[in-house]
Structure 1
């Protein structure tokens, strides 16, 4: 028979990992969004630099 305490610990740990996964997914989404914004800013600056050089 399975040890109820062990099953409870496994269940609790799984819940902790699920929460951590959710937090990491949110952070990853924020990082990707900021990276995309920086890429846009870089393209705009390059365009402005080219226009000023003309």
Structure 2
């Protein structure tokens, strides 16, 4: 067997970064919640302003 044809299987694939994905997901959910809340407050303010 040739030394050039030997393949090694010692390479470990990198693990996926789940905590970062979870943190980004949490930040996105909180941002959308705050944006929705502020939009509701603006709509209510405009609605009561024109009554």
**TM bucket by the smaller chain?**
0.7 to 0.9
Asked if 1:26 is matched to 2:31, the reply is no
Aligned length: 44
Task: Measure, in 2, the Cα distance between the counterparts of 1:35 and 1:28.
Answer: 11
What are the within-5 Å matches in structure 2 for residues 12-51 of structure 1? 13-14=14-15, 17=16, 20-51=17-48
Q: Which runs of 5+ in 2 are unaligned?
A: 1-7
Partner of 1:53: 50
**Higher fraction of helix:** 1
Per the TM alignment, residue 4 of structure 1 is displaced from its structure 2 partner at its CA by 6.9
RMSD over aligned CA atoms reads 1.6
Q: Which has the larger radius of gyration?
A: 2
